[in-house]
Structure 1
Amino acid sequence: MSVSSPPAAAPALSTARRAWTVGLMCSAVGLVIAMVTIVNTALPSMAAQTGASQAQQTWIVDVYTLVLAALVLPAGALGDRHGRRGVLITGLVVFAFSCAAPLFTTSAVALIGARAVTGLGAAMIMPATLSIINASFPPEQRGRAIGIWAAVAGVGGLGGLVLAGLLLQHFSWHSVFVGPAVLALLMAAGCFTVPTSQERTPRRFDTAGAALSALAIGALVFGILRAADLGWSSWVVLGAIVAGVLLGAAFAWYEWRQDAPLLDVRLFGNPAFATGAVSVTVQFTAAFGALFALAQYLQLVQGYTPLKSGLVLWPIAVSLFPMSMLSAPLARRFGLRAVTCAALGIIAFGIVLLGLLGPHSSYLSLAIAVGILGGGFGLSSPAATTGILDNVPPDKYGVASAVNDATREIGAALGIALAGSVLTSTYTSSIASATNALPRDVKEIADGSLAGALAVAERSGPAGGRLAEAARTAFSDGMWYGLLALAGIVAVGVVVVACIRRPRRD
């Protein structure tokens, strides 16, 4: 199987229909990304009413990402074989009904199950949106359309914060599921009007490859997600990550030997494809790790409401959208590798500036940091996505889109786990001196999290002010080291991209 092919002829569509297709596909992918931060924001109210334990709360959040990451590659392949529009509509319907399920239960276990099914729907939606866009435009117009898609995917988490804040300001936590359910059904109806595409010569579905990819990515993401709670030295974490790597190696070996593989692993020998995959992974490691820390910083250190904590991040969108439009043209002029290295360098710089924020930092400092970060994401994401999609045969747009999505989810899980584990360990050691005089049970609460320390401070009279200040300072210290670790991962990504070369032919 060749790693490249002549450009596919795009269907004859009017400008209005192409614009409608892009708008609908971007709305769908934005909803999928937003569903992560929407549930994060509603989790305290949800836990209070359902009685979910801390472990159950973790699974309510994480099972969505786990299922999405594990199944996105097989779902993309299904779209290639059976038609991308049909898989997209089915995914939206599954997404809608599973989002509505919490209306009929107060069981934490049932919520976890519903979130798993929502992850299945999301896995069917994400690769279909990008592959439909790519198949609907001629090559010379795809860069702009992909730039818009990437920009919406980039700010989807921020949109989730704002949407959840608006809903929770007026309604119960159930509203954060009802709203997305209604939107998904409306989108499913609208998708009957968009063009479809599929393999011109359908081949048998690679069932064994699909199972191996799901197990490999699922085990890897599971291990990374659990690292934030159990620590990187936990045998559960290490066992899952090792299993994921071994299963990934088995998947690559198996696919290499197939005539009709689910994913032709030779694609990773293409420098543009490999650069795109590395870039997307480290982008989302930085993005979701930073958002994890920022959400707590804005609400617990700066005192913003959930709604305002989303709205104050508007500089991200202001810089991200224009840079997304410039990304593909700049990559064509200066080369994908040069643009990617520059963009990742900007992201690393923005992450470091975020880490320098403290309890008394001004809003201007925050705005500058997130504005720089948004510019880096805008410059890097469309170029990386184009690098992945432009180097596969048209029949495999769904699988290529799924690679793009799987690397996003792996990066997101790594970012949250890395930032969370470093932040927590630093916070616990930094706050210890301020909580030594507290009773043991109270000390455990204050040492466990900033939210716990602030709750203790409220009940501690005059001494509470000093404890609250110490806790906010300890959190800021932890955020600095956590974001510094993220910046280090991005810096490693720059080095890897710079070293990617086309293999010599003897």
Structure 2
Amino acid sequence: MVGMSQPSPALAPPRVPEAVHRRRWAVLGVLMLSLLIVVLDNSILNVAVRTIAAPAPTGIGATQSELEWSINSYTLVFAGLLFTSGLLGDRLGRKKVLLFGITVFGIGSALAAFSGSPGELIAYRAVMGLGAAFVMPATLAVLMNVFERDEQPKAIGIWAGSVGLAIAIGPITGGVLLEHFWWGSIFLVNVPVVLLALALMIWLVPDSRDPKPGRIDIPGVLLSVLGLVLLVYGIIRGGELASFTDLTVLAPALGGLAVLVLFVLHERRSDHPAIDMSYFKRPAFSAAVAAIALVFFALMGVTFFSAFYLQSVRGYSALQSGLLILPLAIAQMVFAPRARLVVDRFGAKAVCTAGMLLVAAGLAAFALFDASTPVWALEVVFFLQGAGMAHIMPPVTVAIMQALPREKAGSGSAINNTFRQVGGAMGVAVLGSVLSSVYRGEIEGHLGGVPEALRDTAGESIEATLAVASRLGPAGRDLVAPAYDAFLDAMHVTAVASAVIALIGAAVVAAFLPGRTPQATAQAPGAAPAGSGSGSGSRAGVAADDPAPGGAARRGSVPAPGAEAGESARR
């Protein structure tokens, strides 16, 4: 009891060992490097699809469907295994999982660079997705175990800013590589970065794991993988067909949802669940998860059509388009690390709601753009979108990660990344379908002069229409202006739909995220209250850092059961 004689503070080990605490910022740099190459790779590939579609020796002659599956095979494996990889990190050790993931990603990158056919590229991209699925959750889980609770918001802000940096520099890097080297260089460039990251991880990153993981919930793991793979496949298939009523879309999507319902029911009844479903009963936790999914739903959809707008309508090269998106990355890098200061002053509810409204305004602005919109207006909109994202991602990620005990950091990171990935996939598929459907409806009336054999192909997208127009020569010139007009109309409708999704996200966070409280530190349920000795700047004991139920011990008190085991496991 408080006031009674306690053991000397020296007998209670700090939550983060002193040697790890001293090098925490160097560890964060290594984690950002790992995250950078995983996120950057996808944005690079988007720039290279035209080159890969060209016949050998320029490319490998991939068809439109094969190009889509070179992207989708990665997404499918990545999304399906995110949750499982987070659980394995908690049990086997996050450093081990991180080393495994980055090694597999590097091997997949090298193989993809020398693919001799589209089929090989699709297979090796799946290998890269396997590696990335083990890297992404592990970076955030390691971060939570090398920073004390009071520094976690700042570290997560920097972590989130690096995602924005990767999204922006991907197209620039890809454009530079494709101007000077063959298409495989966009994958081969990953290899030296992977080798550097491996060396730094072995040297700097400490291992950590759940000291009392319990039995592995094998049925739960299998259900989660099957459910996520089926759901994401159905979403991807719907985007390919621009229809969500086809049997090949409905069967896997509804089947995936059914399996995930079984997963939830199983987890609620299991005495050793893979994830404690009671966390979702906390409005702040569920609102943060929903915000992640909704903002990426909206943003990935607009990222999808903005690439066509910049390159097909405005005529910018891939490299120029990448440079135009730089303001989005700059805003995230500037504001994300400082978002915690705004949250401390105004509260997570106000900050995240304002961020969502800013993103919604940026998305809605695309409904006003046409072929002659000034470039400075584009730059302002991208900057505002980046600023909005910078005030959404860090607070909601902190809310998710600090709601779980530190020993379950892998699971928390997996939940965060799974909802983000599924939300992004749905955004591309659903909003891409809206774009495609509106475009086809607008352009069909202008395809009367196109040979019947090419008519269906010409109506698929603005790229397809312009390609057919170029093949028809002078007869195809009359198609160019209608194609631009049809795309702009489709983009306007899609932009409004994206903005509506972002507004729904704003309503969710405004209703359920916690507002500003007298305790500015936004402590999770079960954490030590303010004034208990675990305030900002202290290197608190196990339970003071963790929101685990019943954890009231702080530095200088008797360590919670299992603390010594957890500490030795981390050492």
Q: TM-score, normalised by structure 2?
A: 0.83
For 1:202 and 1:443, the matched residues in 2 are separated by 59
Aligned residue for 2:134, secondary structure, equals helix
- 1:335 maps onto 2:347 in alignment: yes
Partner of 1:52: 62
> In the alignment, which of 4, 23, 41 is matched to residue 29 of structure 2?
23
Partner of 1:448: 460
Q: Which amino acid aligns with 1:41?
A: V
Within 5 Å, which residues of 2 pair with 1:345-384?
A: 345-384=357-396
- Bigger CA drift: 392-401 or 331-340? 331-340
- 1:42 maps onto 2:48 in alignment: yes
Q: Which amino acid aligns with 1:116?
A: A
Q: 1:191 to 1:377 in 2, by over 3 A?
A: same
> In the alignment, which of 332, 335, 340 is matched to residue 323 of structure 1?
335
For 1:89 and 1:186, the matched residues in 2 are separated by 12
> In the alignment, which of 125, 128, 137 is matched to residue 135 of structure 2?
125
Question: CA shift at 1:98, angstroms?
Answer: 0.9
Question: CA shift at 1:13, angstroms?
Answer: 4.1
Partner of 1:265: 277
Contact 2:348 2:513 in 1 (8 A): no
Partner of 2:240: 229
Question: CA shift at 1:142, angstroms?
Answer: 1.1
CA deviations on 1:169-225 (whole Å, 9 max, x unpaired) are: 111111011011332222122111212211122322222111111111111111111
- 1:200 maps onto 2:204 in alignment: no
Q: Which amino acid aligns with 1:309?
A: S
Contact 2:299 2:498 in 1 (8 A): no
- 1:213 maps onto 2:250 in alignment: no
Contact 1:165 1:307 in 2 (8 A): yes
Partner of 1:314: 326
Aligned residue for 1:448, secondary structure, equals coil
**C-alpha RMSD over aligned residues:** 1.9
For 1:35 and 1:286, the matched residues in 2 are separated by 21
For 1:301 and 1:16, the matched residues in 2 are separated by 51
Q: 1:45 to 1:55 in 2, by over 3 A?
A: same
Q: 1:261 to 1:470 in 2, by over 3 A?
A: same
For 1:270 and 1:451, the matched residues in 2 are separated by 46
Partner of 1:428: 440
Q: 1:332 to 1:260 in 2, by over 3 A?
A: farther
Aligned residue for 2:23, secondary structure, equals helix
Query: Percent identity at matched positions?
Result: 35
Question: CA shift at 1:334, angstroms?
Answer: 2.9
CA deviations on 1:151-172 (whole Å, 9 max, x unpaired) are: 1123422222122111111111
Partner of 2:15: 9
- Bigger CA drift: 141-150 or 431-440? 431-440
For 2:112 and 2:313, the matched residues in 1 are separated by 31
For 1:496 and 1:483, the matched residues in 2 are separated by 20
For 1:240 and 1:499, the matched residues in 2 are separated by 33
For 1:479 and 1:241, the matched residues in 2 are separated by 26
For 2:37 and 2:342, the matched residues in 1 are separated by 29
For 2:112 and 2:328, the matched residues in 1 are separated by 32
CA deviations on 1:298-331 (whole Å, 9 max, x unpaired) are: 1111111111110111111232223212322333
Contact 1:143 1:329 in 2 (8 A): no
Contact 1:32 1:122 in 2 (8 A): yes
- Bigger CA drift: 331-340 or 310-319? 331-340
Within 5 Å, which residues of 2 pair with 1:107-118?
A: 107-118=117-128
Partner of 2:556: none
- Bigger CA drift: 292-301 or 121-130? 292-301
For 1:467 and 1:112, the matched residues in 2 are separated by 34
Q: 1:348 to 1:425 in 2, by over 3 A?
A: same
Partner of 2:169: 159
Question: CA shift at 1:339, angstroms?
Answer: 2.1
Where structure 1 has 5 or more consecutive residues not aligned to the other structure, the ranges are: 1-7
Question: CA shift at 1:475, angstroms?
Answer: 0.9
Aligned residue for 2:392, secondary structure, equals helix
| Paired residue total | 495
Q: Which amino acid aligns with 1:45?
A: T
Q: Which has the higher helix share?
A: 1
Partner of 1:187: 197
For 1:122 and 1:386, the matched residues in 2 are separated by 22
Aligned residue for 1:359, secondary structure, equals coil
Partner of 2:540: none
Question: CA shift at 1:452, angstroms?
Answer: 2.1
Within 5 Å, which residues of 2 pair with 1:384-399?
A: 384-399=396-411
CA deviations on 1:346-404 (whole Å, 9 max, x unpaired) are: 11111111232211211012112111111110000000100000110111001100111
For 1:429 and 1:217, the matched residues in 2 are separated by 33
Q: 1:333 to 1:93 in 2, by over 3 A?
A: same
Contact 2:21 2:147 in 1 (8 A): no
Question: CA shift at 1:457, angstroms?
Answer: 3.2
Q: Which amino acid aligns with 2:418?
A: A
Contact 1:419 1:479 in 2 (8 A): no
For 2:259 and 2:512, the matched residues in 1 are separated by 24
The structure number with the bigger radius of gyration is 2
For 2:164 and 2:376, the matched residues in 1 are separated by 22
Contact 2:113 2:185 in 1 (8 A): no
Q: Which amino acid aligns with 1:415?
A: G
- 1:401 maps onto 2:413 in alignment: yes
- Bigger CA drift: 212-221 or 401-410? 212-221
Aligned residue for 1:480, secondary structure, equals helix
Partner of 2:531: none
Question: CA shift at 1:259, angstroms?
Answer: 2.5
Partner of 2:88: 78
Q: Which amino acid aligns with 1:328?
A: R
Q: 1:424 to 1:79 in 2, by over 3 A?
A: same
For 1:484 and 1:85, the matched residues in 2 are separated by 43
Aligned residue for 2:435, secondary structure, equals helix
Aligned residue for 2:18, secondary structure, equals coil
Contact 1:418 1:482 in 2 (8 A): no
Partner of 1:89: 99
